[in-house]
Chain A
Amino acid sequence: EAGVAQSPRYKIIEKRQSVAFWCNPISGHATLYWYQQILGQGPKLLIQFQNNGVVDDSQLPKDRFSAERLKGVDSTLKIQPAKLEDSAVYLCASRSGQGNYEQYFGPGTRLTVT
């Protein structure tokens, strides 16, 4: 079974530029999460989708961050405009939700904002 795929793996941009990250969850997984992991900290949720609907985006900085999961499969997270404090690893995870309570994580995208 293929794991969670993310791209790109690394991205360097200047502040005020925009950037987009892509995630393809494990096939059949209904729930998709985007986490932000700042250096030296544990991951923190940005947004959670159930199929193509948003379950929780309470911690998403909506003035600059947006995310979508249009067909209930892959997802895109966008930052526009980026700030220095957005430098972090962005992790995507998915969960089947069918008696399996485990979240499976992708390799992450490391973003550096200069």
Chain B
Amino acid sequence: AQSVTQPDIHITVSEGASLELRCNYSYGATPYLFWYVQSPGQGLQLLLKYFSGDTLVQGIKGFEAEFKRSQSSFNLRKPSVHWSDAAEYFCAVGNQAGTALIFGKGTTLSVSS
């Protein structure tokens, strides 16, 4: 079955500390991987995406993610978290054909001062 697992439901990080959000996927085809962020009452904003090539991808707002095929993972990282990063983060998997994305259940990030 195709699925995305985000093991951490809620993470709290101190402002200025580093962040890693985990994402594991199970997908039958070549995966196209995405990280989205959703602030309260807002839609989904794309942070970054991986289709092919360099397995370390850079995104907006200082985020990066690394694709590890052997571990079926696509973890999101940020070296120094800002209070404005508090939001819900979703990992998703799709394919080249444009079928619907399969999302994880999300990780809520809280930032403490």
Contact = CB atoms under 8 A, between A and B. Distances in A.
Contact of B98 (A31, A44, A107): A31
A44 B106 CA distance: 12
Given A41-B105, A91-B44, A107-B42, A101 B99 contact: no
B103 A42 contact: yes
Chain B interface residue bracket vs A:
20 to 34
B46 interface: yes
Interface string A79-108: 000000000000101010100011111111
Given A41-B106, A42-B103, A101 B46 contact: no
Interface of B (DSSP majority class): loop
B103 A97 contact: no
Interface residues of A, number: 26
Contacts of A105: 36, 43-45
A10 to B, nearest CB: 9
Interface string B28-53: 00001010100001111110010100
B43 A108 contact: yes
A42 B99 contact: no
A11 to B, nearest CB: 14
Nearest to B32: A101
B83 to A, nearest CB: 23
Interface of B: 4, 32, 34, 36, 41-46, 49, 51, 90, 92, 94, 96, 98-101, 103-106
Given A33-B100, A42-B105, A102-B34, 19 more contacts: A31-B98, A40-B106, A41-B106, A42-B104, A43-B90, A43-B103, A44-B103, A45-B100, A48-B99, A56-B100, A91-B44, A95-B98, A97-B98, A101-B94, A103-B101, A105-B36, A105-B44, A108-B42, A110-B41
